[in-house]
Structure formats: C-alpha cells, structure tokens
Amino acid sequence: MSVKRGSSFKTMLFGKARIIKMIKTASVIALFLILAIHPSAYAQGKSTGDVNVLLGQRNMDEDDWKPVHEQRLLGVEADFKGKSWPVNILIGFSGSKKDENIIVSNSLGSANIKLEGTTSELYIGARKYFLPGTSMTPYLNAGVSFIKAKITGSIGGLGVSGDDSSAGLFFGGGATYRFGSLNVGFDLRLLTGADIKIGATSGTADYSQFALVLGYGW
C-alpha cells in the first residue's frame, strides 16, 4: 500500500459542497445523540454528559499512505456518566479524507492520476475527567475502534479501489473549557493495532490525530 513518488498521491482538497455535507451530517448525528441521551438523564438529575464535534487532522502511517497520509478529520462523539459511575462511557463516529492529483511519466508519455484516501471509524470506550466542576477539565480516554480504510485511484474516468476493515485500540486525552453549556477544547488521540490488507499489500490504519472540540454539555 506504500506509494513512492511518481506512483504516489498528495494534499487534501475538500470541495465546499463536500464540507457543507459533512458538517450537516455531523450536526444531525450530534442532535440525535443530544435527544437520545440528554432529556431523561437531565430530568432525573443523575447523569452528566457531553456531545461534541471534532474538526482537525488525522495522520496515517506515512510509509503506507504517503502522500494521502495527512487527512482532514471530522467526527462527532458523546460521553455520559451515571451519578455513581467512576468514568464516562464514550461513543463516537469519525471520518477522514485526502485527495491528490499526481502526474506519472514514462517513455510513452504522461498521465494525470487522482488518488483518494479515506477512513471511517466507530469507537467506544471510557473517558475519565479530572478537576470536575472547574472551567477547564482535562481528561484521558481509551477504548476499542472499528475502522475502515479505502484507497481509490482513477485516470481518465476509469478507477480502481480497495478497502479493508480492522479493529484497534485507541488512547488519548485533551481538555475542554466550559462556558455555561458550551464546550470548547482540544483532543489528542492515537490508534494502534489496526492492521489491514488492501489488494496484495499489507499495511496499517493506525493514526495519530489532533482535533479542536466544540459541543454541548450538561
């Protein structure tokens, strides 16, 4: 799955329509999570939680994914905690993508190839907040992730693609600042153990990522 310069693909370009579509999708999922989790917990006064949107960059393994390894990230997640629970339950969905146009030349001429690398991920785990009740709340989290990775190459309207899915473990942390019910913060995360095979090539869907966080807490 590794691609050398000259048969590789580079830099993420999101069209405006695609960005709007992804933001709308994330907003709908966030609204659903708020409606599903928040009302009963809030009414009973027994639970706390958050629904956040994440926007940032996911860095795939450079040896396997270059030059579509630095991908734009968009995700939505929710965490909630019962009154006597030691940690919050965390569940979320995220996706990342990068497109690259490259020119490949040989003795017969040159060709423009478009490469697209994408991931989609569902994860569940536990999150531990520290300094609860303060305006800045740092946290650590860990859990299991189910990730699908896909690479598509196209030339002259013809394309080929390959994908694979895997499970891995994620670890991370961050901090949120609470302004009333508004959350603003950042999140750092690593995924490991997500081995994949696309075509005849073995690789990994492991990543490191950084995201800004914006959401709602109660």
Find the length of the chain. 218
Query: Could you list the residue range(s) of the whole structural domain that residue 145 is in?
Result: 16-217
Distance CA 192, CA 196 (A): 12
Domain presence at residue 11: no
pLDDT tens-digit series, residues 41-56: 444 556 888 999 999 9
Whether residue 77 contacts residue 90, with contact meaning beta carbons closer than 8 Å, is answered with yes
Question: Which pLDDT belongs to residue 10?
Answer: 32
For 16-135, strand residue ranges (E) read 47-60, 70-82, 88-106, 109-129
CA atoms within 13 A on the CB side of 185: 22
Sequential DSSP letters for 159-194 = EEEEEEEEEEEEEEEEEEEEETTEEEEEEEEEEE--
Question: Which pLDDT belongs to residue 18?
Answer: 52
Question: Which pLDDT belongs to residue 189?
Answer: 98
- Most confident option among 83-87, 155-159, 173-177: 173-177
Domain presence at residue 25: yes
Predicted TM-score (pTM) above 0.95:
no
Distance CA 161, CA 117 (A): 10
Domain presence at residue 4: no
Q: In terms of pLDDT, which residue wins out, 4 or 109?
A: 109
Mean pLDDT in residue range 4-23: 43
Question: Which pLDDT belongs to residue 78?
Answer: 94
Percent of the chain surpassing pLDDT 90: 54
For the domain that residue 90 is a member of, what is the CATH number? 2.40.160.20
Beta bridge partners of residue 172, listed in sequence order: 141, 189
Whether residue 190 contacts residue 207, with contact meaning beta carbons closer than 8 Å, is answered with yes
Give the number of domains in the chain: 1
Domain presence at residue 3: no
**Block residue for tokens 């709908």:** 28
Question: Which pLDDT belongs to residue 13?
Answer: 33
Domain presence at residue 148: yes
pLDDT tens-digit series, residues 187-198: 999 999 999 998
Domain presence at residue 9: no
Domain presence at residue 1: no
Residue 5 has pLDDT above 50, yes or no: no
- Most confident option among 64-68, 131-135, 137-141, 156-160: 137-141
pLDDT tens-digit series, residues 101-122: 877 777 676 777 888 999 999 9
Domain presence at residue 5: no
Mean pLDDT in residue range 133-154: 91
Residue 143 has pLDDT above 70, yes or no: yes
